[in-house]
Structure 1
Amino acid sequence: MKKIVVLFTVAITLMACNSKKKKEEIVKAEIDSTAVKVENVVSENVLVYEGLLPCADCEGIETILKIDVVDNKFQLSSTYKGKKPETNFIEKGNINTERGLEKDPDGTIYILNWDKPEKDQVYYGYYSKNPEKLYLLDKSKKIIKSKLNYFLELNE
């Protein structure tokens, strides 16, 4: 009888350990799932535009503009291709928006460094019918008219 009780006790202990291990695995999976959801929420709030802008003395300026639409922050990364060594600049700051781009009242203009002097501000804008194409604008907030590509494309 004692052997049966001991075996029964051992079996219950093993089942409890396995149950605890499974609960830990479930909790870990839930934590991992939550982390992925939080990461997706963060990435949904950040728009990333990329492209190769013209350059007078290099092959082009590889440009990545990240816009945090919730915190109104930006990060602009510019790499001068074909230069030895390739030069990379990263600028971070505050961003603001204006409605209307040229003849499109529903277009949007992003003002990078809006809280700094006008000479330090950079303008990008898109037409309401094509928000995937973000144009570099001149100092008067107009699209640069050129045969060269002065735009970035939304990276989804």
Structure 2
Amino acid sequence: MKKLILMLIFACVLLSCNSKNKEETGQISSPETDNENTEDALDKVSVYEGLLPCADCEGIETVLKIYQGDGTMETHKFELITIYKKKQPEKKRVQKGNYNLERGLGNDPDGTIYVLNYDKPEADQIFYGYSATNPDKIFLLNNKREKITSKLNYFLMLNE
């Protein structure tokens, strides 16, 4: 019984210390400000656009939207829109899903790779990456997470 009372007293002391710390540091937030901060974080989106090569059409107009979310993997979302130009009929495809980040692109340890559909089978995954020195230019990568070596342009540019 004494142990139970001591544990209750200890828990009360801990709780009162935590609430005082929040008040003193100004960390108390209302539900309104929490919602605003969450909405702002979820609204952050990077939009990359470009014309990728196509074997049997004029090019693949591509728009990749990367939603930053709140920093957790559960909120990392993407939307990939592709339109096959001058193809009859013009084919438009919209893919939505989750992405994960990986560090390192080729010889650049600070580069970043977006693994689109990381939570699906490997055949459904798409890889885009950028170097730390030029994050505005994102490259379509092969299934080995390497830049595609070609005279053709396999990259998208950040649209600000």
Fold agreement, TM-score > 0.5: yes
Compare 44-53 and 105-114 and name the one that shifted more.
Answer: 44-53
Pair 1:99 & 2:99 matched: no
Q: Count residues in correspondence.
A: 119
Which AA in structure 2 matches 1:98? E
Task: Provide the rounded CA distance (Å) in 2 between the counterparts of 1:67 and 1:85.
Answer: 28
| Matching of residue 154 in structure 1 with residue 152 in structure 2 | no
Supply the AA of the counterpart residue of 2:117.
Answer: N
Deviations for 1:5-47, whole angstroms, at most 9, x for unmatched residues? xxxxxxxxxxxxxxxxxxxxxxxxxxxxxxxx99x94686100
1:127 maps to which residue? 131
TM-score between the two structures when normalised by the length of structure 1: 0.73
Which residue, out of 110, 134, 147, partners 1:143? 147
Where does residue 57 of structure 1 map in the other structure? 56
Cα deviation for residue 154 of structure 1 reads 0.2
Match status 1:118 vs 2:117: no
Shift, 1:84, TM fit: 1.5
Alignment RMSD (CA, Å): 1.8
Distance 1:41 1:52 in 2: 30
Q: Gaps spanning 5+ residues in structure 2: where?
A: 1-35, 70-74
Which consecutive segments of 4 or more residues in structure 1 shift more than 4 A?
Answer: none
- Structure 1 residue aligned with 2:92, among 88, 94, 97? 88
CA distance in 1 between partners of 2:130 and 2:87 (Å): 30
Residue 78 of structure 1 corresponds to which residue in structure 2?
Answer: 82
1:28-86 Cα offsets, whole Å, 9 max, x none, are: xxxxxxxxx99x94686100000000000000000000000112000000000011221
Q: Distance in 1 between matches of 2:41 and 2:90?
A: 30
State TM-score, norm by structure 2.
0.71
In structure 2, distance between residues paired with 1:132 and 1:41: 22
